[in-house]
Amino acid sequence: MLRQALLAASRSGGARRVVETAPFTDDVVRRFIAGETIEDAERVTTDLTGEGLLVTLDVLGEDTHDKGQAETSVQRYVELLERLGSSGLGTRAEVSLKLSAVGQTFDEDLALDNARLVCAAARSAGTTVTLDMEGHTTVDSTLRIVHELRRDFPDVGAVVQAYLRRAEEHCAELAYEGSRVRLCKGAYAAPASVAFTDKDEVDRSFVRCMKVLMAGKGYPMLATHDPRLIDIAGALTVLNERDADTFEYQMLYGIRPQEQRRLAAQGAQVRVYVAFGHDWYRYVMRRLAERPANLRFFMRALVGR
Ligand code: FAD
């Protein structure tokens, strides 16, 4: 119920104005966001990679309805990737791209062309791109774009959301050699006709998907903070005789940082998803929706002032 309300608020202009201008907002945002500028992102990436972690960087912004704004998003990514290339960070840091930030909402072909520009910049910087998966109505379009891009950029990462009823099918289609696939639970509101709405059902779907990906020939990227699922991933590693360099764990910046370091210290590859930029509202609202305790943190920040 609370999750649905927060996800609805993430799409509401009125709620956005209230939250963005509230004096307590800074503390909450700082927990999940690396900062606003490329310099902030570079500093956090340098720190994390210095500790043995990998990074994927997200330039915040989504659901663009304007061609000019989509071009601006592409420019920001290109600028970021040039910086990763020149600093040498491209060997340890890639980027995550939301197609809705580069035109998917109003023109799929434009989004494809724009994503191509980002992939070309990533290649020049010696790194890769993963296409985030967004709301359920965009899944087919995003998978079409993934397949199209992989003709020229076979290392483009795809994302499967375990809460979708078709998730296992998507995993089976994507578990081929060289295919980088991020598996996550899914962070958007979706109706019961297309998605599991019960948490245990989502977890069971995640396990089924993980089994398919870990037994397959691709490169699984297991994006979860859930301790039970991380334990099961460990067991599947042994069962499928996978070496540590054939898959990775992924977690979000600011969430379970000790666990990120614990897994890395054990020899696992761990990639931290680092979001930065001005347009943080929807991203942060999704983080609040994921965990009721975050809302308490949010409310404490409110009354503490
Ligand atoms: P949960 O059951 O939500 O959480 C398990 C435990 O993790 C919690 O008990 C808590 O200890 C901790 N935890 C989880 N979330 C939080 C939080 N917000 N704050 C504090 N603690 C928390 N979703 C998409 O729909 N599309 C994507 O492209 C996408 N990319 C992602 C990339 C990465 C690297 C990660 C880690 C997640 C991504 N997500 C994406 C979000 C994902 O779908 C989930 O919403 C999110 O990861 C929470 O699910 P969980 O697996 O951690 O399990």
Catalytically annotated residues = 132, 182
Torsions phi, psi for 86 (to 5 deg): -75, -25
Q: Distance, CA 67 to ligand 1 centroid (Å)?
A: 31
Predicted local confidence at residue 71, as pLDDT: 97
What does the CA dihedral 245, 246, 250, 256 come to, rounded to 10 degrees?
Answer: -50
Q: Please state the atom number of ligand 1 nearest to the C-alpha of residue 98.
A: 28
- Does the complex come out with an ipTM higher than 0.85? yes
Examine residue 301 and state whether it is found in any structural domain, yes or no.
no
Q: Please state the atom number of ligand 1 nearest to the C-alpha of residue 290.
A: 18
Predicted local confidence at residue 175, as pLDDT: 98
CA distances (Å), origin 141, targets 58, 126, 131, 168, 268: 20, 27, 12, 18, 33
Examine residue 218 and state whether it is found in any structural domain, yes or no.
yes
- Joined together, the tokens standing for residue 228 give 């039970």
Mutate to test the pocket of ligand 1, among 224, 248, 251 (most ligand atoms within 8 A of CB): 224
DSSP states of the chain: -HHHHHHHHTT-HHHHHHHHH-TTHHHHHHHHB--SSHHHHHHHHHHHHHTT-EEEEEE-------HHHHHHHHHHHHHHHHHHHHHTGGGTEEEEE-GGGGTTTT-HHHHHHHHHHHHHHHHHTT--EEE---SGGGHHHHHHHHHHHHHH-TT-BEEEETTBTTHHHHHHHH-STT-EEEEE---S---TTTB--SHHHHHHHHHHHHHHHHHSSSEEEEE---HHHHHHHHHHHHHTT--GGG-EEEEETTSSHHHHHHHHHTT--EEEEEEESS--HHHHHHHHHH-HHHHHHHHHHHHT-
- Joined together, the tokens standing for residue 31 give 């927990």
Q: Which domain holds residue 51?
A: 34-279
Please name the residue whose Cα sits nearest to atom 9 of ligand 1. Answer: 226
Q: What gap in Å lies between CA 148 and CA 41, rounded to an integer?
A: 29
Examine residue 24 and state whether it is found in any structural domain, yes or no.
no
Predicted local confidence at residue 282, as pLDDT: 87
- Residues present in the chain in total: 305
Q: Distance, CA 152 to ligand 1 centroid (Å)?
A: 31
Q: Distance, CA 174 to ligand 1 centroid (Å)?
A: 21
Beta bridge partners of 59: 276
Examine residue 171 and state whether it is found in any structural domain, yes or no.
yes
Q: What is the pTM of this model?
A: 0.94
CA distances (Å), origin 32, targets 50, 170, 176, 274, 281: 20, 29, 33, 8, 11
Examine residue 291 and state whether it is found in any structural domain, yes or no.
no
Examine residue 293 and state whether it is found in any structural domain, yes or no.
no
- Joined together, the tokens standing for residue 14 give 């009125």
Please name the residue whose Cα sits nearest to atom 8 of ligand 1. Answer: 226
- 147: CATH: 3.20.20.220
Predicted local confidence at residue 290, as pLDDT: 85
Beta bridge partners of 57: 95, 274
User: Amino acid identity, residue 281?
Assistant: Y
Predicted local confidence at residue 18, as pLDDT: 61
Known binding residues = 98, 133, 161, 185-187, 199, 224-225, 286-287
Q: Please state the atom number of ligand 1 nearest to the C-alpha of residue 226.
A: 5
Torsions phi, psi for 267 (to 5 deg): 100, 0
Mutate to test the pocket of ligand 1, among 255, 256, 258, 287 (most ligand atoms within 8 A of CB): 255
What does the CA dihedral 63, 223, 225, 291 come to, rounded to 10 degrees?
Answer: 20
Over the chain (305 residues), the average pLDDT of each successive run of 10 is 72 67 69 93 97 98 93 98 97 98 98 98 98 98 98 98 98 98 96 96 98 98 98 98 98 97 98 94 86 69 53
Distance of CA 213 to the CA centre of its chain: 18
Please name the residue whose Cα sits nearest to atom 45 of ligand 1. Answer: 187
Examine residue 3 and state whether it is found in any structural domain, yes or no.
no
Q: What gap in Å lies between CA 100 and CA 236, rounded to an integer?
A: 34
Q: How many independent structural domains does the chain possess? A: 1
Q: Distance, CA 291 to ligand 1 centroid (Å)?
A: 9
Q: Distance, CA 225 to ligand 1 centroid (Å)?
A: 6
Q: Please state the atom number of ligand 1 nearest to the C-alpha of residue 132.
A: 28
Predicted local confidence at residue 20, as pLDDT: 67
Q: What gap in Å lies between CA 124 and CA 117, rounded to an integer?
A: 11
Examine residue 296 and state whether it is found in any structural domain, yes or no.
no
End-to-end CA distance of the chain: 27
The set of protein residues with a Cβ atom below 6 angstroms from ligand 1 is: 132-133, 159, 161, 184-188, 223-226, 250-252, 255-256, 273, 287, 290-291, 294
